[in-house]
Amino acid sequence: MGETGSRPRAAARFLTCADPGLQDPRLFGRRRGRALRVGQQTLITELLPRVAVRLPPSGYLDPRALFASPLRAMWLEIGFGGGEHLALQAQCRPEVGFVGCEVFENGVVKLLAQIVHHGIDNIRIFANDARLLIASLPRGSIDRVFILFPDPWPKHRHHKRRIITRQTLDRLAEIMNDNGELRIATDDSDYLCWILERVTVHPDFEWPARRPRDWRERPYDWPPTRYEEKAQLAGRSPAFLRLMRRPRDQ
């Protein structure tokens, strides 16, 4: 099933990149890894269409309309990897609506398996470039954003692919509510410097950290990810940044 030509058309609608208007460099790596097993293929063809986010022709998406029940808040995770953080957050907060963005098919199917196993109904998946979704969201519609262990693109010629840029922060500031929280984690020291150089000068975000433990220790309500575990096993110390969206009247 790893060949694109063998994929059922219903699934292909959600897993192919239809972004001819996106002129910026691609920020992600490969879309597919090892071939899916039969059960995983079933999740892609049967469950994914039911939880997938479809961008309307109008280009305007009300994220709360993706859910049948009223919600207290809307949270967005960009690049959820294997989905372990997103699934745990959703289980702990059934009153919050979650939208997760991930282009890697094997990561998407891992999250789908957790949705089935735990009976999670407050997650929706956008299996495409997160910038397409962000561009469709209305002002002040998101209460919290997670960007956890994004690809650091360590080679200098690839730095243009790093997701943390002034343009990304500008757009996130637009879609986030006042006093909303942006959480960023990385285990790459060079990328950490890159991120801090941009977030600390952005007029719409405040980094309230006052002591090393504020960014060296993962908060209690921040579930771990497999990327954090891999970093620690390799002897790297992750950084956990919590940024607040400043009120617009300041």
Distance CA 165, CA 49 (A): 32
Whole-number pLDDT of residue 63? 97
Distance CA 229, CA 82 (A): 13
pLDDT tens digits along 155-175 = 999 899 899 999 999 999 999
Binned at pLDDT 50, 70 and 90, residue 40 comes out as confident
Q: What are phi and psi of 68, to 5 degrees?
A: -80, -30
pLDDT tens digits along 94-109 = 999 999 999 989 999 9
Q: Residues 210-229: what's their mean pLDDT?
A: 92
Verify whether residue 214 is a known catalytic residue.
Answer: no
Q: Side chain identity at 243, as an amino acid letter?
A: L
Query: CATH number of 68-245: 2.60.120.10, 3.30.590.20, 3.30.1330.30, 3.40.50.150?
Result: 3.40.50.150
Q: Where are the domains of the chain?
A: 68-245
**pLDDT at residue 9 above 50?**
no
Distance CA 159, CA 139 (A): 28
Q: Which of 151, 178, 188, 190 is catalytic?
A: 151
Q: Please tell me the pTM assigned to this model.
A: 0.85
